[in-house]
Amino acid sequence: MRLELKGITKQFPGVLANDAISIAVDRGEVLGLLGENGAGKSTLMNILSGLYRPDAGEILIDGSSRTFTDPRQAIEAGIGMVHQHFQLVPVFDVVEAVALGAESVSGFLGTFDRKTARQRVVELSERYNLNVNPDAKIEDLPVGVRQRVEILKALYRKSDILVLDEPSAVLTPFETEELFGIIRGLAEAGTTVIFITHKLNEVLEVADRITVLRRGRVAGTVDPKSATREQLANLMVGRDVELKVPKGPAHPGDVVLQLRNLHVRDDRGHMAVQDVNLEIRAGEIVALAGVQGNGQTELVEAIVGLRAVDSGEINLDAHSIKHVSPRHISNEGVAHIPEDRNRDGLIAYMTVAENFILDSYHRPPYSKGIRLDHKAINAAAEQAVKDYDVRTPGIDTYAGSLSGGNQQKVVVAREFSRPLKLVIAAQPTRGLDVGSIEYIHKRIVEQRDQGAAILIVSTELEEVLAVGDRVAVMQGGQLVGIVEGETATYENVGMLMGGVH
């Protein structure tokens, strides 16, 4: 079916999330909807799926105007949504999860015809190459398969229009490739597909047409056959962005960080890091790739002193830091850019200036004896705001009111404001706009060129390939491979991430 959204407008308190957005998708077409975090993509799709009512605008299906006052009406009109956060019930098996809600509630509990439902699930799974075991329990399925169950659920409801909201966020590169195959198959069979993402490579690969949203508006629509990554990035942020991290060859020096037979347990007592051996030298960037939840978080926490080591060694400049406190490790010249900046990196109700001196207020030049030198603090904060291009009304603004990208710049500015031996950066650009990513990457390379050893942990393959002088891959708690930066590719690193050695 042909879908048109015309002049869709949605105001939230303080944010015009959708500002007269018009898009169109034809039957059998894959429209890539590209935009930064907060551009308004999910809002637009929530309007299409009947979760939100627009303040203005029109939804047209095959030319006739439709109004949805609840999601059920959108489903009946043939619109299927695979949400950014899955909504499957873990204790159900696939047939139940797919058929639930398609039947009436009483019908489901009373006369649920499992045999017929199962048969349709099997049929759909085969027809679209979804490869889902109908009798498996949802909780036992890997994320990639759960997502295919969501797609099955939409198909089961006879969706002619399928919307996938950031579907690859939780997938391995291999699973993403499989998903793209499924999407192509659906489109060829006549399904209208809207594929939402903030990843440039993905839209270029899977979409027939790309519409870019920026700050609630359509910034442009382009043909992927002729579009470039640079052009898309420009449309996303409204200015030119350097996508390739400008970086000369590494000149590795002495070993700064050495991990030997390292074992670390997670919060539940499971061995999350198993027998990891790794050396990082001064002047090189090691990028640690892996799908979220493969031990990277625990590894980083152990290195910076936030988590106990089970067995093995962590050496900094050839002495053990295994039982050393986070503050002492930091004082040795180790910077930590934490994975969750809102939990560990930044204090929202403190000002930009206060956040800037969080770790160093007790040291000169910020304190004289027991007194803080506010003049010195303010001068340093003003300088950092300037150097790191932090967009803030001033240094007295509460850090919590800044955008994600600007909060992260405050964290990075603080961590990089002193001489460093080692930088541990966990997901340093997660959730940031392309412009801020460019900025932070440049600063990390700068630290490398000043002689720091760098470990970047990232689930984004693009980032890993852009910055890593060497790429290490973690899977199931183990280091399953190390690839030289020059020979690292989407394919060979992606295979390792997916557990193919």
Ligand X SMILES: Nc1ncnc2c1ncn2[C@@H]1O[C@H](COP(=O)(O)OP(=O)(O)O)[C@@H](O)[C@H]1O
The residues that touch ligand X, with contacts defined as CB under 6 A, are 12, 15, 17, 35, 37-43
Neighbour-count burial of 271, counting CB atoms closer than 10 A to its CB (0-12 exposed, 13-18 middle, 19+ buried): middle
Answer with the entry of ligand X, Mg ion, none that 338 interacts with (C-beta below 5 to 8 A by kind).
Answer: none
**Among all residues, whose Cβ is closest to Mg ion?**
42
Total residues binding Mg ion (CB under 5 A): 1
Smallest distance, ligand X to C-beta of residue 412, A = 22
Q: Which residues contact 152 (CB under 8 A, 6 or more apart)?
A: 94, 98, 121, 124, 125, 130, 132
CA distance 277 to 262: 7
Answer with the entry of ligand X, Mg ion, none that 404 interacts with (C-beta below 5 to 8 A by kind).
Answer: none
Answer with the entry of Mg ion, ligand X, none that 17 interacts with (C-beta below 5 to 8 A by kind).
Answer: ligand X
Of 41-49, 70-78, 102-110, 288-296: span binding Mg ion (CB under 5 A): 41-49
Smallest distance, ligand X to C-beta of residue 34, A = 10
User: With respect to ligand X, which residue has the nearer C-beta, 20 or 306?
Assistant: 20
Smallest distance, ligand X to C-beta of residue 288, A = 26
Smallest distance, ligand X to C-beta of residue 430, A = 13
CA distance 175 to 151: 14
Smallest distance, Mg ion to C-beta of residue 464, A = 23
User: With respect to ligand X, which residue has the nearer C-beta, 112 or 398?
Assistant: 398
Q: Which residue shows structure tokens 């290195």?
A: 303
As a residue count, the chain comes to 501
Q: Which residue shows structure tokens 């956060």?
A: 85
Smallest distance, ligand X to C-beta of residue 19, A = 11
Tokens matching residue 290: 């892996």
- For the CA atoms of 398, 400, 401, 405, the dihedral, rounded to the nearest 10 degrees, stands at 120
Report residue 32 CA to chain centroid gap: 17
Coil, strand or helix at 1: coil
User: With respect to ligand X, which residue has the nearer C-beta, 252 or 404?
Assistant: 404
Answer with the entry of ligand X, Mg ion, none that 35 interacts with (C-beta below 5 to 8 A by kind).
Answer: ligand X
User: With respect to Mg ion, which residue has the nearer C-beta, 46 or 436?
Assistant: 46
CA angle 438, 196, 345 (to 5 degrees): 45
Neighbour-count burial of 120, counting CB atoms closer than 10 A to its CB (0-12 exposed, 13-18 middle, 19+ buried): middle
Answer with the entry of Mg ion, ligand X, none that 348 interacts with (C-beta below 5 to 8 A by kind).
Answer: none
* CA-wise closest residue to 388 among 363, 411, 419: 411
Smallest distance, ligand X to C-beta of residue 161, A = 18
Could you say which of 18, 42, 355, 459 contacts Mg ion (CB under 5 A)?
42
- 18 forms part of the interface with Mg ion (CB under 5 A): no
Crossing angle (nearest 10°) for helices 143-156 and 173-188: 20
User: With respect to Mg ion, which residue has the nearer C-beta, 42 or 168?
Assistant: 42
Q: Where are the alpha helices (DSSP H) in 388-426?
A: 404-415
Answer with the entry of Mg ion, ligand X, none that 429 interacts with (C-beta below 5 to 8 A by kind).
Answer: none
User: With respect to ligand X, which residue has the nearer C-beta, 237 or 353?
Assistant: 237
HEC assignment per residue over 428-450:
CCCCCCHHHHHHHHHHHHHHHHC
Residues within the interface to Mg ion (CB under 5 A): 42
